[in-house]
Amino acid sequence: MWSEKHRPTTLDVMVGNREGREKLAKWLKSWKRGAKAALLVGPPGTGKTTCVHLTAARFGMQLVELNASDTRTKEKLGRRLGQVLSSSNLFGTRSLVFLDEVDGLAGRADYGAVEFIKDAVKKSENPVVMAANDPDADEVRKLASVTSKIEFVKPDAGEVQAFLAAVAGAEGLDADGASLERMAKLANGDLRSAINLLQSGGSHEKDEEVTAAQALNAFFSAMDGKAALVALRSYPGQPREKIRDLFNGILKSRIHEERKAAALDVLSRADVLMGRIMRGQDWRLLRYLDPMLASELWTSLGDGGVSYVMDGVPWLLQLRIWNDSKKLKEIGALAGRRLGISQRGFLVEDMPYFLLLARDAPFREGVIKSLDLEETFVPFLAKEATRARAPS
Ligand X SMILES: Nc1ncnc2c1ncn2[C@@H]1O[C@H](COP(=O)(O)OP(=O)(O)OP(=O)(O)O)[C@@H](O)[C@H]1O
Of residues 5 and 383, the one with the C-beta less far from ligand X:
5
**In the set 23, 25, 35, 50, which binds ligand X (CB under 6 A)?**
50
Give the nearest distance from C-beta 194 to ligand X in angstroms: 8
Of residues 8 and 305, the one with the C-beta less far from ligand X:
8
Q: Is position 49 an interface residue for Mg ion (rule: CB under 5 A)?
A: yes
CA dihedral (227, 233, 235, 241) in degrees, to 10, reads 120
Selection from Mg ion, ligand X, none that 192 binds (CB < 5 to 8 A by kind) is ligand X
Q: How many CB atoms lie within 10 A of CB 169?
A: 11
Tell me which DSSP letter residue 11 carries: G
Sheet holding 37-41, edge to edge: 62-66, 95-99, 128-132, 37-41, 147-151
Give the nearest distance from C-beta 8 to ligand X in angstroms: 5
Q: Alpha carbon 325 to chain centroid distance?
A: 20
- The distance in angstroms from the start CA to the end CA of the chain is 25
Give the nearest distance from C-beta 23 to ligand X in angstroms: 15
**In the set 184, 191, 198, 246, which binds ligand X (CB under 6 A)?**
191
Q: List b or e across 286-319, with b for residues whose CB sees 16 or more CB atoms inside 10 angstroms.
A: eeebbeebbebbbebbeeeebebeebebbbbbbb
Chain residues 193-232 in contact with ligand X, contact rule CB under 6 A = 195
Q: How many CB atoms lie within 10 A of CB 112?
A: 14
Chain residues 109-138 in contact with ligand X, contact rule CB under 6 A = 133
Q: Is position 49 an interface residue for ligand X (rule: CB under 6 A)?
A: yes
Of 26-34, 42-50, 67-75, 113-121, which segment contacts Mg ion by CB under 5 A?
42-50
Give the nearest distance from C-beta 84 to Mg ion in angstroms: 20
Selection from ligand X, Mg ion, none that 47 binds (CB < 5 to 8 A by kind) is ligand X
Q: Is position 196 an interface residue for Mg ion (rule: CB under 5 A)?
A: no
Selection from ligand X, Mg ion, none that 6 binds (CB < 5 to 8 A by kind) is ligand X
Tell me which DSSP letter residue 323 carries: I
Closest to 64 in 3D by CA, of 33, 34, 87, 35: 87
Of residues 13 and 357, the one with the C-beta less far from ligand X:
13
Give the nearest distance from C-beta 67 to ligand X in angstroms: 9
Of 43-51, 158-166, 240-248, 361-369, which segment contacts Mg ion by CB under 5 A?
43-51
Selection from ligand X, Mg ion, none that 342 binds (CB < 5 to 8 A by kind) is none
Nearest residue by C-beta to ligand X? 47
55 and 28 in contact (C-beta within 8 Å)?
A: yes
Q: Is position 161 an interface residue for ligand X (rule: CB under 6 A)?
A: no
In order, the DSSP letters of 262-320 are HHHHHHHHHHHHHHHHHHHT-GGGGGGHHHHIIIIIHHHH-SS--------S-HHHHHI
Composition of the chain by helix, strand, coil, percent to 5: 60, 5, 30
Using CB under 5 A as the binding criterion, the count of chain residues that bind Mg ion stands at: 1
* Contact residues: Mg ion, CB under 5 A: 49
